[in-house]
Chains A and B, each alone.
Chain A
Amino acid sequence: MVAPGLTGPAPAKPRWRGVALVLLWAGVGVGALLLLAKSVQNSGEFSRLQPWILLLNIIGVVALTALLARKLTQLVRDYRAHVPGSRLTARTVAIFGALVVAPLLIVYLFSLQFLNRGIDSWFHVEIKQGLNDALVLSRAALDLRVREYSRHTENLAHSLVNASAEDVAQRVYEERRATAALEMAVYGAHERIVAASLENPLESIPTRPPPDLVRQVGERRAYVSLEPQAGGEYLIRTAAPFTDSPTRADDRYLVAVYDVPTQLAALSEAVQRAYSQYGELAALREPLKSSFRLTLTLVLLLAMLAAIYGAIFSAQRLVRPVQDLIEGTRAVGKGDFGTRLPLPSRDEMGFLVHSFNDMTKRLRRAREEATRSQRVVERERERLAIILARLSTGVVVVDRELTVSIANQAAGAILGIDLSAAIGRALPQLTAGNERLGQFVAALVVRFGAGREEWREQLDLDGASGRRTLMCACTPQPGAERSGYVIVFDDITTLLQAQRDAAWGEVARRLAHEIKNPLTPIQLSAELMRRRFLASMSPQDAEVLERGTRTIVQQVETMQQMVNAFSEYARAPEMRITRFSLNQLASEVADLYRSHDPRVEIRLELDERIDGIEADRGRVRQILNNLVINALEALDGVAAPRLEIATRSEQAAGDARYAVVTVCDNGPGIQRELLGRVFDPYVTSKPKGTGLGLAIVKKIVEEHGGRIDADNRPEGGARIRVVLPVTDSTRSATGTRERRGELRREIV
């Protein structure tokens, strides 16, 4: 039975149709067999249908054979193709077949033997002999009477030879009555009736003598015959010529017909009937055997074929749930958990199939649950990846061998390497050519080697582009195995710089404020002292005073300048943005310093694509002045001093365009330890410098939304690179804090 909604390999309808077909065939077969068996026993009733019954049985045998052949062929094909369940089916069919066929064959052979012997026993020798004896007895009984009548007829005929015609008639009449003959007649030549007497008064003439009687009497011989009649009666016909001598010309002869007594006739007829029937049956002995053999064989064949067919059918029905289970198991093995098997019955197999269906249902649910969880995890992972990618903090996850399993973009940017390509590789393998990463890895190795797994420290990494400061935190990866570490780090270089800048700004403002105020009274006091006392003093004293007050005034002025410089550094400027030619400005600055110090070769390399820049012209000039002054100071004492000013136009991402100004010299370069702090105030390697030149440059550049960096050229000498936005809108887009002035165009 198939429950609704379940998928099964065998639909219900054809199966019922098959069962109905088998039942129909079985009914027809059994009916035909019964008819055949009955017809053999009772020929009269079923004789008409006999050929049809036989034909039906033969058709049944042929049809069953064909069906069986088809089934067996299919079975063999399945067996060879290793179809699931075919071996079990074959074995079951073989067992069923053997169990059915062997007893059937034994019964068949026994029945055949029994049949032969049984039929042979009907025709036993004693029966035949008994019948023959009865026949002889009957003949003897009748023969006695026949001879008696024959002799009587002969005697009567001889006695009538010399009698007159009237006497003959009289004698015939008397004798017929005396002997109770049915007829008595005297015939002359050509079968002419001379005299006749009949028992039946309705008949006028006697029956005509048969030809053999006439012929025999014509030969002067007596005639006698016993003639069976249709109703089981007998007539004794006797005839005798009047004279035996062939020489005498008397053709007359007497014919007498006698009745046989009823009882004797009946007994004789019974013996005759038995003899005849026995003879007929004896003649039919072999055909009878054949008939029974054929019937038996047909019965055997039908029963055997039906049994084998039934065995195959039953085996397939039995094995069908097992096949379903095998197919279902394979489907589950391939991951198809939607397989539902049809429930065969309510027996143990049904329970097994039900359990299988239950299992697949649970498996399907579990898989759906797992898929859902996996999807959630994937979503979380994607979200985490997005967060990691957008994070400015570097995150690297490594195992104990420092093999990278997770790294975000920020980590790569901070360490100066594409870490996304380094997933699965050990960090120490990636350090070649990357000094900063080498120092980072060395720091990790030192800490892990010391057994420290959880720490938070600041790491300073030196590189060609300067020192970077990282705030680095390491935590063992969560989980029982502690298989690795999560390293999180921030590049706090800029933050530290900003903090330093803010501190310096505050210092400068305070210095300017605190120092500037006393300077003027000091200067005024010194000048007052000089005016007041110089004229009235002795020349020696006057000279001392003169020198002293001049020194005071000079030093105060120097201090004034210094305070002004601090003030300049600390002030919050108001920018006046105009559009001007950067190349022209660079040329002007170069010309100014060429004339100032002709010893130094100043080269200009200007990019013609930069036609104009929106910036505070005076401050940009200050940048160039400071940079050139800084370079000239660095070139002091250099054999062939050379200074290069270059401008270049750069296209950044999007439409943002930048003007890059590079100032290089062939001086001693920047000391390595100062590289990261060269733009800090009071960081200088020169004896004369205030230490504020580059700090102010950096401040102006940042106010314009640009950036500045310094490094040493490979061939020697320092290189400072200033990047300025070309347009004011670009600067605004960078989000740099500034106070914008009114944009005025300057005609150059």
Chain B
Amino acid sequence: MLVAIALAACGADAHADALDGVLEVRSAYVSVEGGVFLLHARIEYPVNPGIRDALHDGVTLTVELDTRIERERRFWFNADVVELTLRRELDYHAVSDRYLVRDVRSGTQKSFATLEEALTDLGTVEDWPVLVEPQLSAGHYRISVRAGVRRGRLPASLRALMFWTDDWRRVSEWYTWSLPG
């Protein structure tokens, strides 16, 4: 009986497929300028009426780009060299009827008239420094990029409670390639 009560209490009526649509890293590469490895990537984020409605209702989406650079080892697991996350937020500014893209770390923000423009901006990563040469030694390195979307600015306590019912959370497949020697 107690278990039934608990299940009934916990059962949240969540939206089905809230983040429906394509979420993938279309292309990515790194360039080296002055000993700094710069990441360039094109990502496609999902867009659907549900997302638009949610943004209009005040929901903030957190868009993350996880980058992982590993040194390959033949007889053992690969060694992590760098793990970085580029975290940005997308929300709708109701007063100005514009979509805002905000870089969480720097605090800079841009506004766009349409959601598509905002997503295009989010999906374009240029010159993101991920590595400096002294971090590398001899050997082969692999770089992996993964995009993720989740309902942002959720209180951490609720995030913990909702981790098994939250469908406002998606990640793409890893996009992996070898670092040019």
Binding site for B on A (CB under 8 A): 39-40, 43-44, 46-48, 50-51, 54, 108, 112, 135, 138-139, 142, 212, 225-230, 234, 268-269, 271-272, 275-280, 282-284, 286-291, 293-294, 296-298, 300-301, 304
Contact A297 B6 (CB under 8 A): yes
Q: Could you list some 20 contacts between A and B, CB below 8 A?
A: A43-B157, A47-B157, A50-B156, A112-B9, A142-B95, A225-B113, A226-B95, A230-B107, A268-B95, A269-B95, A272-B93, A275-B58, A275-B95, A283-B59, A290-B11, A291-B158, A293-B9, A294-B6, A297-B10, A300-B5
Do A291 and B161 have beta carbons less than 8 Å apart? yes
Residues of the A chain whose Cβ atoms lie less than 8 Å from the Cβ of B166? 287
Residues of B within 8 A of A142 (CB): 95-96
In the complex, B133 has a CB within 8 A of chain A: no
A49 to chain B minimum Cβ distance, whole angstroms, is 9
Rounded to whole Å, the gap between the CB of A22 and the closest CB of chain B is 21
Given A48-B156, A277-B58, A301-B6: A291 in contact with B162 (beta carbons within 8 A): yes
**A135 partner, pick from B91, B95, B108, B159, beta carbons under 8 A:** B95
8 Å CB contact of B95 from A212, A228, A230:
A228
Complex-state Cα separation, A46 to B156, whole angstroms: 9
- Docked complex Cα distance between A294 and B13 (Å): 14
Residues of B within 8 A of A268 (CB): 95
Residues on B with beta carbons closer than 8 Å to the beta carbon of A277: 58
A271 to B151, CA, bound (A): 22
Which interface residue of A46, A54, A286, A304 has the most chain B CB atoms within 10 A? A286
Convert B40-77 into 0s and 1s, putting 1 for each residue whose CB lies closer than 8 angstroms to a CB of A. Answer: 00000000000000101111100000000000000000
Give the residue of B9, B14, B97, B157 whose beta carbon is less than 8 angstroms from that of A46.
B157
Closest residue of chain A to B59 (Cβ to Cβ) is A283
* B165 CB contact (under 8 Å) in A279, A284, A287: A287
A289 CA / B14 CA spacing, docked (Å)? 12
| Cα distance A280–B9 in the bound complex, in angstroms | 22
Question: A293 to B165, alpha carbons, bound, how many Å?
Answer: 14
6 residue pairs, one from A and one from B, having the closest CB atoms:
A279-B58, A47-B156, A293-B9, A43-B155, A50-B160, A291-B161
User: Is A138 a contact of B157 with CB atoms below 8 Å?
Assistant: no
Which residue on A lies nearest to B7, using beta carbons? A297
Q: Across the interface, which residues of A come within 8 angstroms of B156, CB to CB?
A: 43-44, 47-48, 50
Indicate whether B98 reaches chain A with its CB closer than 8 angstroms: yes
A284 pairs with B96, CB closer than 8 A: no
Residues of A within 8 A of B93 (CB): 228, 272
Q: Judge whether B117 is part of the interface by a CB distance below 8 angstroms.
A: yes
- A225 adjacent to B98 (CB under 8 Å): yes
Central interface residue in B12, B153, B154, B166, by most chain A CB within 10 Å: B12
**Least Cβ distance of B92 to chain A in Å?**
8
Q: Does the CB pair B54–A283 fall under 8 Å? A: yes
In the complex, how many angstroms separate the beta carbon of A258 from the nearest chain B beta carbon? 14
Instruction: For A40, give its contact among B91, B95, B107, B157 (CB under 8 Å).
Output: B157
Supposing A47-B156, A228-B111, A280-B58 touch, asked if A272 and B95 sit within 8 A by C-beta, the answer is yes
Is B100 positioned at the interface, with any CB of A under 8 Å from its CB? Answer: yes
Residues of A within 8 A of B165 (CB): 287, 290
Q: How far is the CB of A154 from chain B (nearest CB, A)?
A: 19
Do residues B6 and A283 form an inter-chain contact, with CB atoms below 8 A? no
Contact A283 B58 (CB under 8 A): yes
| B12: A residues at CB distance < 8 A | 286-287, 289-290
Known: A212-B113, A286-B13, A287-B162. A226 touches B157 (CB 8 A): no
Q: Which residues of A contact B94 (CB under 8 A)?
A: 135, 272, 275-276
- Choose among B11, B13, B98 the residue that contacts A226 (Cβ–Cβ < 8 A): B98
Q: Is the CB of A294 within 8 A of B161?
A: yes
Task: Give CA–CA (A48, B157) in the complex, Å.
Answer: 8
Contact (Cβ within 8 A) A290 B10: yes
> Is B109 close to A, CB under 8 A?
yes
How distant is the Cα of A43 from the Cα of B158 in the complex, in angstroms? 8
**Could you say which of A51, A228, A287, A296 contacts B98, with CB atoms under 8 Å apart?**
A228
Q: Which residues of A contact B160 (CB under 8 A)?
A: 47, 50-51, 54
- A62 vs B62: C-alpha distance when bound (angstroms): 35
Residues 80-127 (chain B) with a chain A CB within 8 angstroms: 91, 93-98, 100, 102, 107-109, 111, 113, 117
How many Å from the CB of A222 to the closest CB on chain B? Answer: 15
CA distance A226 to B108 in the complex (A): 17
Q: How many A-B pairs with Cβ below 8 Å?
A: 130
- Is B2's CB within 8 Å of the partner chain A? yes
Q: CA separation between A653 and B70, bound complex, in Å?
A: 117
| Interface flags, B126-154, vs A, CB<8A=1, else 0 | 00000000000000000000000001011
Residues of B contacting A269 in the complex (Cβ-Cβ under 8 angstroms): 95
Q: How far is the CA of A389 from the CA of B121 in the complex (A)?
A: 130
B residues in contact with A212, CB < 8 Å: 113, 117
The answer to whether A227 touches B98, judged by C-beta atoms less than 8 angstroms apart, is yes
A279 to B93, CA, bound (A): 12
Q: Which of B6, B56, B160 gathers the greatest number of chain A CB atoms within 10 Å?
A: B160
For residue A278, which residues in chain B have a CB less than 8 angstroms away from its CB?
A: 58
- Please, how many angstroms separate the alpha-carbon atoms of A558 and B80 in the complex? 161
> What CA separation (Å) do A283 and B162 show in the bound complex?
13
Q: A43-B155, A212-B113, A230-B109 are in contact. List 14 more A-B contacts (CB 8 A).
A: A112-B9, A139-B97, A230-B107, A272-B95, A276-B58, A279-B56, A279-B59, A282-B58, A287-B161, A290-B12, A290-B165, A291-B157, A293-B10, A297-B9
Q: A residues within 8 A CB of B58? A: 275-280, 282-283
| Contacting residues, chain B, for A272 (C-beta < 8 A) | 93-95
- B158 touches which of A46, A279, A288 (Cβ 8 Å): A288
Q: B9 to A290, Cβ gap below 8 A? A: yes
Give the distance in Å from the alpha carbon of A277 to the alpha carbon of B113 in the complex: 21
Are the CB atoms of B96 and A228 closer together than 8 Å?
A: yes
A44 / chain B contacts, CB cutoff of 8 Å: 155-156
Min CB distance, A138 to chain B, in Å?
A: 5
Which residue of the partner chain, among B91, B157, B162, contacts A39 with CB atoms under 8 Å?
B157
CB 8 Å contact bits of B1-43 with A (1 = contact, 0 = none):
0100110011111100000000000000000000000000000
Q: Looking across the interface, which residue of chain B has its beta carbon closest to that of A274?
A: B58
Instruction: Find the A residue at minimum CB distance from B2.
Output: A301
Chain B residues near A271 (CB-CB < 8 A): 95
- Inside 8 A of A108's CB, which chain B residues have their CB? 5
Closest Cβ neighbor of B93 among chain A residues = A228
Q: How far is the CB of B52 from chain A (nearest CB, A)?
A: 13
Please report the C-alpha to C-alpha distance between residue A273 and residue B24 in the assembled complex, in whole angstroms: 32
If A46-B157, A272-B93 touch, whether A294 touches B10 (CB-CB below 8 Å) is: yes
B111: chain A residues at CB < 8 Å are 225, 227-228
Closest to B58 in A: A279
> What is the chain B residue whose CB lies nearest that of A281?
B58
**In the complex, which residue of chain B has the Cβ closest to the Cβ of A52?**
B160
Expressed in whole angstroms, the Cα–Cα distance for A289 and B12 within the complex equals 8
Q: Is the CB of A290 within 8 A of B100?
A: no
Q: Are A304 and B2 in contact (CB under 8 A)?
A: yes
B residues in contact with A296, CB < 8 Å: 9
Contact indicator A284/B158 (Cβ below 8 Å): yes
Compute how far the CA of A43 lies from the CA of B12 in the bound complex, rounded to whole angstroms: 20
Q: How far is the CA of A43 from the CA of B154 in the complex (A)?
A: 10
* A212: nearest chain-B partner, CB-CB: B113
Q: What is the chain B residue whose CB lies nearest that of A227?
A: B111
- Report how far A135 CA is from B5 CA in the complex, Å: 41
Q: A282 touching B57 by the CB < 8 A rule?
A: yes
For the complex, give the distance between the alpha carbons of A304 and B6 in Å. Answer: 13
Q: Which residue of the partner chain, among B10, B14, B100, B158, contacts A228 with CB atoms under 8 Å? A: B100
Q: Which residues of A contact B158 (CB under 8 A)?
A: 43, 284, 287-288, 291
Is A280 in contact with B5, judged by CB distance below 8 angstroms? no
- A residues near B54, Cβ cutoff 8 Å: 283
Residues of A within 8 A of B6 (CB): 294, 297-298, 301
Give Cα distance in the complex from A445 to B109, angstroms: 139
Q: CB distance B5 to A297 under 8 Å?
A: yes
Alpha-carbon distance between A226 and B113 when the two chains are bound, in angstroms: 10
Given known pairs A135-B95, A228-B93, A228-B98, the reply for A290 and B107 (CB within 8 Å) is no
Using Cβ atoms and an 8 Å threshold, which residues of chain B touch A39? 157
Q: How far in angstroms is the closest Cβ of chain B from A80?
A: 24
